[in-house]
Chain A
Amino acid sequence: MGVISFINSWLKDIVVLFILISIAELIMPKGNLKKYIRLVIGLLIIYTIINPFAKLLRLDFNLDKVVFNYAKPEAINSWELEDYYQKQEEQIERIYEEKIMKDLKDLIESETNYELLDGNIGILKDEDNFGEIDYLILYIGEKTQHKTQERIYIEKIEPIEIKQNLDEEFIEDKYTEDIKTLISNKYEIDKDKITIKIYKKGIGERDE
């Protein structure tokens, strides 16, 4: 199946490309410059034909990026450049947030009896303290230990209910203080900026 879908998408690309080119040929001006346009179109055809081989060999090749690197700086519109940088910045921010989340998850799981279920993180973006954590909202639940197959099956359903009324189910209590201290010591952030909500499965279970 893999081979068939591969050839299928390749053929589709080539067919649509040729339709595209025939329309482009129609709107092409007559005269001396036609052969230059044809040169570029020829390059496009070559690229479309050999691109699947690059994918087959698992080469990491992004034409946009390489063209961007080779292009003369003035040839690129400033808004394109800005767009590019903005995308890059957003990506970095996302990775940064994911990293902090993963760090927190490991920290909470190794130091306490709870585990991180979900969380929101806000990062300061002004020049002076870029990257500092502005606020932190964590949803944690008691660690789930060994379960039989049926138990896991039941547990899978539960999170759906949790998400619907997150704020009602998650409450703050004295246990959160310990975790807050832990996090604020590690990341050197103000305790007030951290909000922790614990999900309890049932009253009384927590003391076990």
Chain B
Amino acid sequence: MEIIKIVSLGIVATVIIVLLKEIRPEFPMFISLLTGLGIFVMILGELSYVIETLSTLARRVNIEFAYFSTILKIIGMAYIVEFGAQISRDAGQESIAMKIELGGKVLIMVLAIPILLALMELIFKILS
């Protein structure tokens, strides 16, 4: 049972962090980082199944696949950015978290702009 593994990993990590906080204040951050990575690795297999289902669905419609893979890429980037930003925030580094999010936003915009421009071109072509 995957879910029990994930939840127990989370609870154990939380207990360890609460206990260690009093003795060694610098450890909790590493543990939360490791727990995050561990949970992510556990769900990786399931996640790939979800993504595969989505891509089969996308192929059945007339959606250009480049378009849909861009959305998946953006979702993935958002997850990674959130992960990094949360860890920085947990460690009390709000400003670093903001910078990570800024980087994520800019890179997502880089992916989104070609689609925006292509759509504009299509609209202008239809209207002209």
A residues adjacent to B (C-beta < 8 A):
9, 12-13, 16-17, 19-20, 23-24, 27-34, 36-37, 39-41, 43-44, 46-48, 50-51, 53-54, 57, 59, 61-64, 66-68, 70-72, 75
Among residues of A, the one whose C-beta sits closest to the C-beta of B57 is A20
The answer on a CB contact under 8 Å between A40 and B78 is: no
The answer on a CB contact under 8 Å between A23 and B50 is: yes
User: A46-B119, A63-B122, A67-B115 are known contacts. Are A23 and B54 too (CB-CB below 8 A)?
Assistant: yes
Contact of A43 among B61, B66, B79, B112 (CB under 8 A): B112
Q: Tally of A-B residue pairs with Cβ under 8 A?
A: 135
Interface segment out of the listed B3-11, B15-23, B69-77: B69-77
The answer on a CB contact under 8 Å between A37 and B78 is: yes
Q: Mark B73-92, 1 if CB is under 8 A from A, else 0.
A: 01101110110010000000
The answer on a CB contact under 8 Å between B125 and A54 is: yes
Smallest Cβ distance from A79 to chain B, in angstroms? 13
Among residues of A, the one whose C-beta sits closest to the C-beta of B47 is A27
The answer on a CB contact under 8 Å between A63 and B71 is: no
The answer on a CB contact under 8 Å between A24 and B71 is: yes
Contact of B64 among A12, A30, A57, A64 (CB under 8 A): A64
User: A29-B75, A36-B108 are known contacts. Are A68 and B57 too (CB-CB below 8 A)?
Assistant: no
What are the nearest 10 A-B pairs in CB distance?
A: A70-B114, A66-B118, A33-B78, A71-B114, A63-B64, A16-B61, A67-B114, A70-B117, A29-B82, A64-B66
A contact residues around B68 at 8 Å (CB)? 20, 44
The CA of A34 and the CA of B77, in the complex, are separated in Å by 11
User: A37-B75, A67-B66 are known contacts. Are A54 and B54 too (CB-CB below 8 A)?
Assistant: no
The answer to the question of B1 belonging to the interface, with a C-beta cut-off of 8 Å to chain A, is no
The answer to the question of B95 belonging to the interface, with a C-beta cut-off of 8 Å to chain A, is no
Listed by A's residue number, 20 A-B pairs whose Cβ atoms lie within 8 Å are: A17-B63, A23-B53, A23-B57, A28-B75, A29-B79, A36-B78, A36-B109, A36-B112, A37-B71, A40-B111, A44-B115, A47-B119, A50-B122, A54-B125, A62-B64, A63-B66, A64-B67, A66-B118, A66-B122, A67-B115
The answer to the question of B37 belonging to the interface, with a C-beta cut-off of 8 Å to chain A, is no
A contact residues around B53 at 8 Å (CB)? 23
B contact residues around A57 at 8 Å (CB)? 126
Q: Mark B44-60, 1 if CB is under 8 A from A, else 0.
A: 00010010011001101
